[in-house]
Structure 1
Amino acid sequence: MCGRYASSRAPEDLAGLFEARWDPRETLAPSWNVAPTDEVWAVLERPDRTTGEVERRLRTLRWGLVPSWAKDPTGGARMINARVETVHEKPAYRRAFTRRRCLLPADGFYEWQSVAATATAKAYKQPYFITPEDTSVMAMAGLYEFWRDPAVTDEDDPAAWLITTTIITTEATDAAGRIHPRMPLAVAAQDHDAWLDPAHEDVHDLRALLHTPADGHLAVRAVSTAVNSVRNNGPELLAPPAGR
């Protein structure tokens, strides 16, 4: 799974990298400890409400998908990941898979490994940061969905709509698999256009875009246990573990 990741790039840099339009009024602080229910950057394509032309945008979504048919948004915190093997079949995800796909930019993601107690130390969970070897931005495959809040009567009120997202996961490659059996699925740069295109609805073709990366593309390193708490944030979370 992917339950925590880092996203520290500036929005203007992400907008340039993904050739997306970004509204400077929409901001997020850099985060080295992105957690479920946080607002996150996403790249998606939607028709412009005025012209009808499809445009690529960088915007914020809430991590934890709430299906459009949900009675309330409370279940979103549990729906942070969708398995690539079944995402096109599950009721919560299948409509979004054919119509509402996105990319979630990340520096890398965290996974944990249990360390047994010794005669001199208690058991603990050691976090690892998994990132592209070349330090490039990971474009994690995601889906997004709109949920209409019935408590807001005006449909044009931005508060009437909650827009949420989930990360698609796959079997981990050897580098990440030594830590955890699942990992977020990154979309190759040459497949970004096809993945984001809302007119592209063929399930077989879409699934063909989701390749598990070859081993050797990811680097894994142990980092500070301070990342274990969602209250902590900052680049110091990527420092090597102290005294372990």
Structure 2
Amino acid sequence: MCRAFAADLDWDDVATHFGVSAIDNENVAADNTIHHSAAALPSPTFHATPKTDIAIVAGDPHGRRHLRAAYWSLIPRSAQTIDLRYPTYNARIETAASKPTYAPSSVSMRAAIPSSGYYEFKGEHPFYFHFPDDAPLFMAGLYSWWRANAHSPWRLTATILTRDAVGALASVHNRMPVLLPDDMLDTWFAPRTAGDDAGTHADAASLSATANDATASLLAAANDAGGKLSQRLAFHEVAPLRGDGPQLIEPVPNWHQGQNLFD
């Protein structure tokens, strides 16, 4: 699982990396197109938590990539309230294509969540996972548009996909975020999965068998690629996560275990 991460990033650099168009528009267009606006994005943080705004990169129905703030907990279009009875800040990639909450987003509303590193917990003890060179990492996610009623504005919401932990990471926690390699981004952000004949806002029951099969295949490929990419991660124990700031990712001085997951 992933319930906290750091995003000490320059959003202009992230936009350039993903080929995002910097459109100065904080409002959602009539067709729910996502736009990048630096003013609308959250401030850099070392302690992003569920049910707050995070930055996501998402592909819109026209095949464009955009960077925008989103509420970190995916709210399905059919929900009557934003306060769901179950947590949706993470979704298992193994079952996302078949779960009613996530299936429509899996088909055509996939995202990446930029991060400088993330935390996992072993009991009450947090550990920080990051690339050894501190390069940004991009967690696979899904997004959805939600509003309380016809008179309310649309709200962008998102979840982070997780998979079984690999190698030494499994000694800290049994789940981990799915990381997206750069060579998979074009496929991941495609407006629709190959073979999809379902509408962008279709519900899970109306998704065709072909769309479900193609989506499941894509998620399986991302699952495998994410497991391999995670083998590059370094990790260390940190102090309890209180407040915000770079001190949160500093190693606990008396922790002497390995610096790399697969040494």
Once the two structures are superposed, residues 155-179 of structure 1 have per-residue CA deviations (whole angstroms, 9 ceiling, x without a partner) of xxxx511210001000111132110
Question: TM-score by structure 2 length?
Answer: 0.78
Give 1:170-181 correspondences, 5 Å limit.
170-181=163-174
Match of 1:144 in 2: 143
- CA contact under 8 A between 1:191 and 1:209: conserved in structure 2? no
Residue type matched to 1:209 in 2?
A: A
**Separation in structure 2 between the aligned mates of residue 75 and residue 46 of structure 1, nearest angstrom:** 25
1:121 corresponds to: none
Aligned match of 2:250 in 214, 239, 243?
A: 239
Task: Tell me which amino acid in the other structure corresponds to 2:111.
Answer: C
Partner letter of residue 138 of structure 1? Answer: L
The question of whether the paired residues in 2 share the 8 Å contact of 1:36 and 1:64 is answered with: yes
**1:128 and 2:127 aligned:** yes
Which amino acid in the other structure matches residue 18 of structure 2? F
SS at match of 2:183: helix
Alignment match, 2:53: 39
CA distance in 1, matches of 2:95, 2:216: 13
- Equivalent position amino acid for 1:142 in 2: G
Farther-moved stretch of structure 1 (77-86 vs 17-26): 17-26
Question: Matches of 1:30 and 1:39 in 2, distance apart?
Answer: 11
Whether contact under 8 Å (1:142, 1:166) holds in the other structure is: yes
Structure 2 residue 63 is the aligned partner of structure 1 residue 54: yes
Contact 2:8 2:45 in 1 (8 A): yes
Q: Is the 8 A contact 1:144 1:165 kept in 2?
A: yes
> Please, which runs of 5 or more residues in structure 1 have no aligned partner?
48-52, 115-124, 154-158
User: Helix, strand or coil: the match of 2:60?
Assistant: strand
Is structure 2 residue 74 aligned with structure 1 residue 74?
A: no
Q: Kindly state the Cα deviation for residue 133 of structure 1 after the two structures are TM-superposed.
A: 2.8
Deviation at 1:241?
Answer: 2.4
Q: Cα deviations across residues 29-76 of structure 1 (Å, max 9, x unaligned)?
A: 1110000011111111214xxxxx532111111100111001111018
* One-letter amino acid matched to 1:26: A
Structure 2 vs 1, CA of residues 181 and 72 (structure 1 numbering), >3 Å: closer, same or farther?
Answer: same
Cα deviation code 1:105-154 (max 9, x no counterpart): 1111111223xxxxxxxxxx22110112332211111000111221x62x
Partners of 2:85 and 2:184 lie apart in 1 by 28
What is aligned with 2:33? none
C-alpha change, 1:239 and 1:76, in structure 2 (3 Å) is farther
Give the conservation status (yes or no) of the 8 Å contact 2:97–2:216: no
Whether contact under 8 Å (2:8, 2:116) holds in the other structure is yes
- Of all paired residues, the percent bearing the same amino acid is 28
Q: Aligned AA for 2:127?
A: Y
Q: 1:220 to 1:204 in 2, by over 3 A?
A: same
**Aligned residue pairs, count:** 219
Change (3 A) 1:35 1:27: same
> What residue is the counterpart of 1:50 in the other structure?
none
- SS of 2:68's equivalent in the other structure is strand
1:218 aligns with 2:233: yes
Aligned-residue Cα RMSD (Å) equals: 1.9
Gaps of 5+ in 2: 22-35, 197-213, 256-263
Contact 2:129 / 2:234 at 8 angstroms: preserved in 1? yes
Partner in structure 2 of residue 91 of structure 1: 100
Contact 2:63 2:189 survives alignment (8 Å): no
What does 1:16-31 align with in structure 2 at a 5 Å threshold? 16-21=16-21, 22-31=36-45
**Which moves more between the two structures, 133-142 or 179-188?**
133-142
What is the SS of the residue equivalent to 1:134? coil
**1:106/1:137 contact within 8 Å kept:** yes
Paired amino acid for 2:245 = G
